[in-house]
Amino acid sequence: MIWKTLMTILFCLLPIRAYAEDTASAYDFTFVSIYGEEMPISQYDGKVLLVVNTASRCGFTHQYDDLQQLWETYEPQGLIVIGVPSNDFGSQEPGSEQEIKKFCEANFGINFPMTEKTVVIGRDAHPFYRWISAEKGGPRWNFHKYLIGRDGQPVEAFPSSVEPLSETLTSAIEGLL
């Protein structure tokens, strides 16, 4: 019985590990933009990336303001902020792409790149999130942040409670720029 359980666990973990080993960097992935167009991460090759799963009806939604400020401050130095709307946590992103885009622009002036609404946890998670979760652990709530170096490798993950303009996050970004 124990042997069978261990084998089941092993076989469940193999696809995740194999996926991580076959992927060289974040630049190997493509999202669909909030406008419905292909959004290959390779277009940001050589840039520092901050990838954040977002939601419009979350207690952390105010972080959009600081994410926009990060984008405006550090984009000239090579930071790309990517917002990834997701309805995975508390169903706090129920809107369509059009509604999400309108909300973000009207309430926060967002103009950094955003993807279409994306699954970020579980079996149906986007391949980027399966890869980054194997490398740095999966997001546990909205506004989880992944910092990726210029080489496309994950550097650090920050939970929702780490504010975008916090010394912790800005120091990590500045160290990569």
- Catalytically active residues are 58
Q: 159: number of CA atoms within 13 Å, CB side?
A: 3
Which distant-in-sequence residues (6+ apart) come within 8 Å of 63 by Cβ? Answer: 52, 143, 160, 163, 164
For residue 123, give the amino acid letter.
Answer: R
Which distant-in-sequence residues (6+ apart) come within 8 Å of 95 by Cβ? Answer: 56, 103, 117
The Cα–Cα gap between 58 and 155 comes to: 26
If you count them, how many residues does the chain have? 177
Coil, helix or strand for 176?
Answer: helix
